[in-house]
A = this chain, B = another copy of it.
Amino acid sequence: MKIIQDGNVTSAKGFLAAGVKAGIKASGNYDMALIYSETPAVAAGAFTRNAVRAAPVMLSELHVKSDNVQAIIVNSGNANACTGDEGYRNAENMCKLVAGRLDLAQDAVLVASTGIIGVQLPMEKINVGIGHVVDKLSQDGTIATKAIMTTDLTEKNIAVELEIQGKTVTIGGIAKGSGMIHPNMGTMLGFITTDIAIEKSLLQRIFLESVDESYNMVSVDGDVSTNDTAIILANGLAGNDVITSEKDEGYDAFVKALRFVNQTLAKKIAEDGEGATKLIETNVFGAKTVEDARKVAKSVIGSSLVKTAIFGGDANWGRILCAVGYSSADLIVNKIEIFVKGGDAKIQIVANGAGIAFDEALLAQIFSAKQVEIEIYLHNGEAVATAWGCDLSYDYVKINADYRT
C-alpha cells in the first residue's frame, strides 16, 4: 500500500470533484462541493444515531440503497436540520437539481449538509451554486476538500493505492469535523471514493465495520450531531474481478487499506477539534469484549477533566482511572495498569488499580507533547480498541460561546 501525495476523492479512476462559493456562508468562503463518478457506483453509508435527523440524512439513507449512485452534493454553512417538511423538500430539490444537470436519476444523487441548525436553506443561492459546481467538475479535488469545512482549521484528505489481482486499486477520501464530534459520529462528514469492483452488500458491511473503528472512536466534545454522514462510492474502474466474499483475493488488503484511510481522516478530525492544541490517543488492551474496550477508550477520551488536565500539562493521572471507572465496562479494578506516552517518553502511572510513584517532571513533559498516548491494560480478556480525541482549551469555549456571530 502506498500513500498518494496530496491524494483525495479524485485520486481513484473516474472520479471528478469541484467546489464553489455559493454564498451560503456569511464569510463568503467555499461552501458547496460536488463529488461525481463518471460511471455508476455501488454506495454504502453510515449516518448519525441522533433521533433528530437532518433532512439530508433522511434522504441520503434512502438514496444510498440505489444500485447506481453517481454523485454526492454537499453544502456547508447550513445543516438543513430541524427544518421540517420544507427542509426535506429542499434536500430533495438539491438532488433533483444535480440529477437534472448531470442527467442522472434523482436517487443517484446523495446529499449532505453541515452548519447552522434550524434555518431553511437559501434555495436560490443553492440553485445557482449547483449550476456552477457542475460546470467546474475536474480531476482536481482540492477545492471540494475546502468547501466541506466549517470551523475546521486544516483540510482533511488522504488517498492510497494498492495492488489487487494485479490491478491498481485506489481509495481516497476527504472529511470535515471540528465541533460536535463524538462516539457515534458527532457533525462529521466523510466521503470516500474507490475504483475497486465490489459487491454492494459486502461493501456496506466492510464500511460500517471500518466506521466503527475510526469515526465512531473520535470525540471532541461529547455532542452527537444531527447531520453526521460517512459515504463510500466504489465504481469498479480498477478492473479487478468483483469482490463478493471475504475469501476473494484482495479482500483483506482492501479492508486494511480502507481502515487506514478512515482512521487517518478520523485522527485528523480529532487533531483539529475546536480549540485543540494536541491529539490524544487512547489504546485499551485486555478488555472482556470489544464493546467494553470501546467504552473504556471513549470514556477516557471524552472526559472533560482528562482533556483539561492534558491541555494544562497537569499530571493528574487519577482522572484517567476515574474515567475508566465510570465507563460501565466490566472491570477488575485492582488489575488495571495505565501508561502514558508522549514524545520519546513512556511511563507507568497506575498499577493494580492504584497510583504508583513516578517522575512527576517526566509525566508533565509527556502531557506537554503535541501527541499524547494513553495505554490502558484491563487484564480482563483479549479485546482491544483505540479512540482519538483532543484536549479542552479556552478556545473551545470561545468558539462555541459565540458560534453564530
Interface residues of chain A, those whose CB is within 8 Å of chain B, are 49-53, 79, 81-84, 87, 116-119, 179-180, 184, 221-226, 302-305, 308-309, 311-312, 314-319, 321-329, 331, 333-334, 350, 352-355, 392-394, 396-398, 400-405
Residue of B nearest to A393 (CB): B397
Q: Do residues A326 and B49 form an inter-chain contact, with CB atoms below 8 A?
A: yes
Q: Residues of B contacting A394 with CB < 8 Å?
A: 394, 397-398
Taking a contact as CB atoms under 8 Å apart, the answer to whether B401 and A308 are in contact is: yes
Q: How far is the CA of A52 from the CA of B322 in the complex (A)?
A: 6
Tell me whether A325 and B52 are in contact (CB under 8 A): yes
Most buried by B among A322, A394, A405: A322
- Copy number in the complex reads 2
Given contacts A118-B318, A319-B117, contact A312 B402 (CB under 8 A): yes
Whether B223 contacts A309 by the Cβ 8 Å rule is: no
B117–A354 touching, CB < 8 Å: no
Interface of A is mostly: loop
Determine the chain B residues whose CB is within 8 A of the CB of A322 once the complex forms: 50, 52, 81-82, 117, 180, 223-226
A354 and B82: CB pair below 8 A?
yes
Cβ 8 A contact of A353, one of B84, B308, B321, B353: B84
Which B residues lie within 8 Å of A179 (CB)?
305
**Do A118 and B354 form a contact, CB below 8 Å, given A304-B400, A318-B82?**
yes
Q: Are B397 and A223 in contact, with the CB atoms below 8 A? A: no
Asked if B326 contacts A116 (CB within 8 A), the reply is: no
Closest to A402 in B: B312
Residue of A226, A318, A352 with highest tally of chain B CB at under 10 A: A318
Given contacts A305-B179, A323-B223, contact A84 B397 (CB under 8 A): no
CA distance A299 to B339 in the complex (A): 32
